[in-house]
Chains A and B, each alone.
Chain A
Amino acid sequence: MTTRLVVVGNGMVGHRLLEELATLQPPDLEITVLGEETRPAYDRVHLSEFFSGKTAAELSLVAPGFFEQAGIRLRLATCATGIDRARKRVTTADGNELPYDKLVIATGSSPFVPSIPGSDRAGCLTYRTLDDLDALSEWGGRSKHGVVVGGGLLGLECAKALRDTGLETHVVEFAARLMAVQVDDSGGQMLRKAIEDLGLVVHTGRNTQRIVDGAARRHRMEFADGSHLETDLIVFSAGIRPRDELARQSELGVGQRGGIMVDNFCRTRDRDVYAIGECAQWGGKVFGLVAPGYDMARVVAKHIYALQARRPAPDLPEFAGADMSTKLKLMGVDVASIGDAHGATPGSFSYQFSDGRRQVYKKLVVSEDGKRLLGSVLVGDAADYGSLLQMMLNGMELPESPETLILPSGEGKPKPGLAVDALPASAQVCSCNNVSKGQLCEAVAAGATSLDALKQATRAGTSCGGCVPLVTQIMKAELARAGVAVNNHLCEHFAYSRQELYHLVRVERIRRFDELLARHGHGLGCDICKPVVASILASCWNEFVLQQEHASLQDSNDYFLANIQKDGSYSVVPRMAGGEVTPDGLIAIGQIARKYGLYTKLTGGQRVDMFGARLEQLPLVWEELIAAGFESGHAYGKSVRTVKSCVGSTWCRYGVQDSVRQAIDLEHRYKGLRSPHKLKFAVSGCTRECAEAQSKDVGVIATEKGWNLYVCGNGGMKPRHAELLAGDLDTATLVRYVDRFLMFYIRTADRLQRTSVWRDNLEGGMDYLRAVVIDDTLGIAAELEAEMKRVIDNYACEWKKAVSDPQVRRRFRHFVNSEAADDNVAFVPERGQLRPATREEKRSRLERIPVVVETE
């Protein structure tokens, strides 16, 4: 007989249950799902990314066609309002009754809104669903100032999201410190500083008594200590409460502090009713994280399967509690808490390290005998979260002096870190998806030799992503064990990595490709190694890229100092440092573009691009541009592109420093610098960040006291926020750090590796980078600066050299034996300018031209 299963709630955990069931396919099961929201399940964990551009569709957890294929009936916008356990029926808000044989409650939780007078005013919001976010965007658009009530994990995440939408944002916390549950006092202080650096204002120890009409803004919050705060909108993020209404009404048994009580199989006191996820309470605890919920979903799916299959199942999985270690996922603020963070275990003692300047705080809680890790707090640098967590979870033996785990590594000495080999095969590496080290090793052995393949094969790393570094480490170790050499040779002509070649060039003072090939390579070279060597030579010696012995190494774009387009024509991009251009400059560009019939467009890099120049026109166009005072913009090279700026303190009423001048100075300093990949900069005049500096390889943001320097961000395929390298720098120090940072990158990066990817591969991460750039732990800072000076001193505009060198100029002809133009380039008008003709348009045009008959 068919069993009717009703699932109430299509949230993260409820949906995971459906996925598990769809995989197991228990016989004779008919599933109906009731979801109160208007959308099927979506990724709440990454909800905040909605504000950084993720769409509701991208957040969806439902694979296309999932419900249809699995034969599951889904009723959205349907709220279950009651359970009649005697008649085995669920009633819904629209008055329907639904019979069930088995029932799973997966109703999650709701944000806790303290019942203070005024907390239900319009413009008082919560932060849990996509609808909440819509409301927040709506109100946010009409507001300048926002308050988040609650300084916990969610509250801070929400506050950062508000701040990112441009509101002045305050966090009001009842306790004496932020993230009181996870972090201790010292960590809390460091965290506060980091949060304030994000531009948030923090109020701790504030007890809101009531909310009334404000004088200057919509609301006025009145606190118990007599102080008050006015704001336009308020978001409550002061904890969550399990949604156990259905259980209360049907007397299923609810814990004292809420949550539907369940046993190890997640069954309630009614054998036919289960509860999973945040609405459930097990062992006196409610788990406000997704991983334990997923675990419960697995347990219930297996249980139902066993019942349906009517087979004895001796080793059914049981829910056994969960580790509540957490990591805050705020860009630029690393905070993590592992296990017994407060050292509550009797006899335990702790190690602490703090660095006030770099705002790093780390604490280890260790067992009485000093052998096991019990807990940890990491603020400012949580890179070791994964390995420490594994040490704690697997009860691994600590090194002789445990403090080395949190002390910065000095003088290039590697930290004792976690040897992945020491992890037992049973160690759970991905807690979201319950993947063990053993499973990962098996998958690697079965052929999953890249991270993507491994993710696909095991699901590890596909939810919160927290385990990815460890998964990668395990994969690499397994590959190495299997003898799969991960070869980093540049190409068949050089058995060296880019970094090694760079070193050879520097040390042996090699100045020509031929020389390098003769000494260290073989064959003729190719389109991989030639441009790389050309770039290395340019980074080291900065000679004219088109001089005879370098010319043949250049990628086509560098060879003609312009970007080739799909039809073989070129684009021309003059430098406009900082995005600043005079009216005369604009007029000159307009006149030149009109004269040569070029299509013009403003680029994303704050300058003007002119498209559709034929090869032979390039020197002519450039002659005129140079006469008008322009120089090469290096849009064609793997080199410094632009330094974007905002208008800054000169005009803007919020600007605190002259960002335009700084941008122009930086652009002129580094223009022409060639590098493993392109380099982009930006400078903003205040924390409003109109120049988007945090999406650049080098981002500079003005502060009251100087400049904050961010590095290793980018847009492009995999957008990445830049990270703070150092704060409140004066201009001289800023420039010194940028010199060092860039040259260190140029020295050590792989071919076509942007700074973000380079940073991800840098052992020791940001800490190490700071140590090298700021503390000069490698003792190479002076060298790096001198190398940069050499490049800067040797700068000359390539186009100026090209147009004044008749040899070079001769190469800018389409035909070696004719002055004719390339008749294969053809344009058609569009929106008042020109664009390349399509193949079809060319064909119809060519058909009208008489065919040339060849006579032999």
Chain B
Amino acid sequence: MNSNATTDGWTCVCRIGEIVPDTGVCALVAGEQVAVFRLAGDTLHAVDNIDPESGAAVLSRGLVGSLGERVVVASPIHKQHYDLRTGECLEDAALHVHAWQIRRDGEHVLIRRGER
């Protein structure tokens, strides 16, 4: 595994240039799959990669966009929308994913478990 864990819990997962604008990638962080998104203006978001509805590890492959004020990703399996800031599912309150902390350090994209 080539992710470098730092002492304060932040892990560098990739360089910003490795994410096509307005899409996501999946990162492996200590055995967990995290979907990392780069949106317009280079804002970054990270949530669990596993879609709780289907159980498939696919959220990083969903289309991103906005619904009202929310920034969302649509699961490629059955199209539920997850709020990228909070992890809530817009269609079904019983489904939600964990939102990870994310920040940028120069070219590096770093993420950390814990509440945002």
Contacts and interface: CB of A to CB of B under 8 A. Distances in A.
Contact of A816 (B25, B56, B65): B25
B68 A492 contact: yes
A452 B113 CA distance: 49
A817 interface: yes
Nearest to B19: A816
Interface string B13-38: 11000111111011110110100100
A492 B68 CA distance: 8
A822 interface: yes
Given A524-B66, A525-B66, A564-B61, A811 B27 contact: no
A263 B63 CA distance: 69
Given A548-B20, A824-B33, A527 B56 contact: no
A557 B54 CA distance: 16
B9 to A, nearest CB: 5
Given A524-B65, A527-B65, A566-B56, A817 B30 contact: no
Interface in A789-827: 810-811, 814-818, 820, 822, 824-825
Interface residues of A, number: 40
Contacts of A839: 55
Contacts, number: 116
Interface in B40-99: 40, 50, 54-58, 61-68, 71-72, 74, 76-77, 79, 81
Contact of A815 (B22, B27, B54, B63): B27
A681 interface: no
B21 A814 contact: no
Contacts of B21: 552
- Output the residue of B22, B61, B63 with the most chain A CB within 10 A: B63
Given A816-B26, A818-B28, A856 B9 contact: yes
Contact of A566 (B26, B30, B72, B77): B77
A817 B57 contact: no
A818 B1 contact: yes
Nearest to A838: B55
B63 A556 contact: yes
Determine the interface band of chain B, counting residues with CB < 8 A from chain A: 35 or more
A670 interface: no
Interface string A506-524: 0000000000000000011
A715 interface: no
A839 B2 CA distance: 29
A387 B15 CA distance: 66
A815 B67 contact: no
A527 B13 contact: no
B62 A816 contact: no
A94 interface: no
A811 B63 contact: no
A560 interface: yes
Nearest to A569: B56
B33 A816 contact: no
B35 to A, nearest CB: 10
A568 B57 contact: yes
A152 to B, nearest CB: 51
A1 interface: no
A536 to B, nearest CB: 16
B28 to A, nearest CB: 5
A752 to B, nearest CB: 13
Contacts of B2: 817-818
Nearest to A566: B54
B40 A524 contact: yes
Contacts of B67: 492, 526
Contact of B58 (A523, A524, A568, A852): A568
Interface of A: 492-493, 523-527, 529-531, 548, 551-557, 559-560, 564, 566-568, 810-811, 814-818, 820, 822, 824-825, 839, 842, 852, 854, 856
Across the A-B interface, the 9 shortest Cβ-Cβ residue pairs: A556-B76, A526-B65, A568-B56, A552-B22, A852-B31, A527-B74, A816-B25, A524-B66, A527-B63
7 contacts: A524-B66, A530-B63, A554-B63, A556-B63, A815-B33, A816-B36, A839-B55
